[in-house]
């Protein structure tokens, strides 16, 4: 007879205020890499030898979503050590993979905990796991559950079957919206350094930086990290950098027209904005490929090889023109 849950770590389905605060902080990049939990086997409810075994990563936000959706059930939850990275990304990196899964099965003594030999893995982890190798090395059969954790109850209650819609990856407006805070924080960490350098040069009288320079750059960051991700499906083009270039160009043109209406006649300055702002927006939108379900690793590498040289050239040319505009009015 398999061992009872009293000998194992337990996990509640209820989320505390600290759990929710931790997730909020992680969304904004605060202590993001510390937002993980100890790998191992956890008992939810009072599982026994016949209870299903679900596998997930040790990114705490992922664990929280899974356990929240398993309230009222007796479940074994096998948490893999993925360095605090979510299932999909960890599968791509190999940390949610065959070696870690087989190793964790042995380390936790899972064979002695359950009478069956079946593991339920998230579908998004399939790229990192060789099911037949797991079975050969551990004796456990791999079964892939639905894409989203909220569909796990249906999966368990219907003989481990899913509706076709539960196999499809959705990337809705809300899905994209919740990812933008991290993109904004990463971008602003870089831009604060740029703004600091600009402020110093201006204070020393080397380059008389104007408010429009700060405004232009901030607007470009906003376009690349917020507007482009939100409007992603509706912006023409396939490459993320191209989509970001479009939103950045709209912002640059709007700023140039506004400045022109206010009497600005420094054409070099206006021309520099046309080069710099779309390129910066393109760069930040391209970074969103790592958060998107629209891309593949090979596609990202191809886009970077094509887009980065253009972005760097455009930014460099625009910066040189802007510097020249301080001396040539």
pLDDT digits (tens, 9 = 90+) for 44-73: 999 999 999 999 999 999 999 999 999 999
pLDDT at 1: 43
pLDDT at 5: 44
Kindly calculate the radius of gyration of the chain based on its CA atoms and give it in whole angstroms. 25
**Contact of 194 with 319, CB cutoff 8 Å:** no
Q: Which two tokens stand for residue 18?
A: 């600290």
How would you classify the pairing of strands 75-79 and 9-10?
unpaired
> With respect to CATH, is domain 5-170 assigned 3.40.50.9100?
no
pLDDT at 89: 81
pLDDT at 60: 94
Helices within the chain (DSSP H only): 17-27, 60-68, 87-93, 98-108, 110-113, 131-138, 152-157, 173-177, 180-203, 211-222, 228-230, 240-261, 267-287, 297-325
CA 269 to chain centre: 36
d(CA 141, CA 133): 10
d(CA 3, CA 108): 12
- Residue whose structure tokens are 């090395």: 137
Name the pTM for this structure: 0.79
**Contact of 158 with 145, CB cutoff 8 Å:** no
pLDDT digits (tens, 9 = 90+) for 120-149: 999 999 989 999 999 999 999 999 999 999
Q: How confident is the model at residue 265 (pLDDT cuts 50, 70, 90)?
A: confident
pLDDT digits (tens, 9 = 90+) for 181-214: 989 999 999 999 999 999 999 999 899 999 999 9
Number of CB atoms found within 10 A of residue 62's CB? 24
Number of CB atoms found within 10 A of residue 320's CB? 13
Dihedrals phi, psi of 55, to nearest 5 degrees: -115, 140
Each domain of the chain, given as residue ranges in start order, spans 5-170, 174-325
d(CA 148, CA 310): 38
Alpha carbon dihedral 208, 210, 214, 216, in 10-degree steps, equals: -120
């Amino acid at each position: 007879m398999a061992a009872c849950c009293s000998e194992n770590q337990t996990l509640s389905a209820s989320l505390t205020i600290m759990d929710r605060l931790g997730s909020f902080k992680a969304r904004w990049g605060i202590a993001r890499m510390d937002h993980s939990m100890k790998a191992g086997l956890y008992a939810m409810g009072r599982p026994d030898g016949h209870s299903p075994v679900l596998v997930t990563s040790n990114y705490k936000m992922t664990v929280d979503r899974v356990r929240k959706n398993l309230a009222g059930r007796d479940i074994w939850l096998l948490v893999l050590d993925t360095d605090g990275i979510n299932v999909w990304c960890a599968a791509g990196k190999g940390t949610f993979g065959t070696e870690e899964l087989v190793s964790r099965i042995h380390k936790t003594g899972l064979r002695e905990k359950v009478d069956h030999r079946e593991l339920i893995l998230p579908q998004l982890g399939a790229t990192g796991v060789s099911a037949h190798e797991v079975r050969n090395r551990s004796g456990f059969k791999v079964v892939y559950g639905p894409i989203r954790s909220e569909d796990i109850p249906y999966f368990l209650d219907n003989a481990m079957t899913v509706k076709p819609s539960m196999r499809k990856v959705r990337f809705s407006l809300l899905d994209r919206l919740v990812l933008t805070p991290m993109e904004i924080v990463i971008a602003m960490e870089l831009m604060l350094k740029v703004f600091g350098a600009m402020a110093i040069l201006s204070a020393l009288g080397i380059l008389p930086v104007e408010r429009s320079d700060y405004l232009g750059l901030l607007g470009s960051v906003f376009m690349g990290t917020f507007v482009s991700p939100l409007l992603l499906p509706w912006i023409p083009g396939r490459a993320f950098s191209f989509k970001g270039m479009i939103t950045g160009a709209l912002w640059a043109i709007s700023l140039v027209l506004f400045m022109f209406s206010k009497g600005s006649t420094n054409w070099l300055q206006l021309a520099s904005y046309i080069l710099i702002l779309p390129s910066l927006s393109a760069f930040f939108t391209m970074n969103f490929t790592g958060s998107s379900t629209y891309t593949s690793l090979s596609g990202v590498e191809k886009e970077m090889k094509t887009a980065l040289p253009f972005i760097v050239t455009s930014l460099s040319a625009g910066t040189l023109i802007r510097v020249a505009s301080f001396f040539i009015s």
